[in-house]
Copies of this chain bind each other. A is one copy, B any other.
């Protein structure tokens, strides 16, 4: 590394952070890490990528100051360094959402009509849960649910949704949530539920954002 002036040195540091965010796999890793600490192995399983590859990505993120790691027996658990990483991800997403026609197109093509998917705000959901007016389903896999979920939510992994449909009260509104604002699982759940005649909506964003806004989270540990 050559001698630089301070301005360049700072810009390089900032660019290093942005660069660490500048890869689709790493963003997906961040979304998973936003749920809580995870081992390399668990992350590799979730993303369907080779372990060595995930390890390299995690190390790159550690170098940039996005994640930290801690050994726990045979496992090494990575976690996000703090909420500022999620805030940066969100800010990047905002730029993309506002300006990239491609994002709009993808959302529209895969999720049909955007207004059909108008989400429930956290505040609205919190108050309707208090009044007992709504069934909240967490469509993430069981292992992620166990590590933290909305109090009162029931875990209905997407793969089990169809088989568990008969157990839902038909008049009652259902709100689904998953990992985050662009996690496809809650979109798919809502689409499926509506096809079967249920009144269903998504929660805005996902569990990490719920947690970040100071609302209660329950955990099975």
Q: Is the interface of A mostly helix, strand, loop or mixed?
A: helix
Chain A 81-92, CB-CB to B under 8 Å as 1, else 0, gives: 110110111111
Instruction: Judge whether A16 and B96 touch: CB under 8 Å.
Output: yes
**Smallest Cβ-Cβ distance to A99: which chain B residue:** B65
At the interface with chain B, which of A100-108, A132-140, A152-160? Answer: A100-108
Instruction: Judge whether A96 and B6 touch: CB under 8 Å.
Output: no
Instruction: Judge whether B24 and A22 touch: CB under 8 Å.
Output: no
Instruction: Judge whether B102 and A13 touch: CB under 8 Å.
Output: yes
A14-B85 contact, Cβ under 8 Å, with A6-B184, A106-B9: no
Instruction: Bin the interface of chain A by size.
Output: 35 or more
User: So how many copies of this chain end up in the complex?
Assistant: 2
Q: Is A8's CB within 8 Å of the partner chain B?
A: yes
Instruction: Judge whether B16 and A18 touch: CB under 8 Å.
Output: no
Instruction: Judge whether A88 and B94 touch: CB under 8 Å.
Output: yes
A69 → chain B, closest Cβ, in Å?
14
Docked Cα-Cα span, A89 to B91, in Å, equals: 8
Which residues of chain B are within 8 angstroms of A85 by Cβ–Cβ distance?
95
Docked Cα-Cα span, A15 to B102, in Å, equals: 13
Q: Is A21's CB within 8 Å of the partner chain B?
A: yes
Docked Cα-Cα span, A24 to B14, in Å, equals: 7
Supply 13 further A-B pairs (C-beta < 8 A) apart from A6-B106, A85-B95.
A6-B184, A7-B184, A10-B107, A11-B24, A13-B96, A14-B27, A14-B89, A14-B96, A17-B93, A18-B18, A65-B95, A66-B95, A84-B98
Please list 17 pairs of residues, one from A and one from B, whose beta carbons are closer than 8 Å in the complex, sorted by A's number: A6-B106, A7-B183, A10-B107, A13-B103, A13-B106, A14-B92, A14-B93, A14-B96, A15-B21, A15-B27, A18-B18, A22-B22, A65-B98, A87-B91, A88-B88, A88-B94, A91-B92
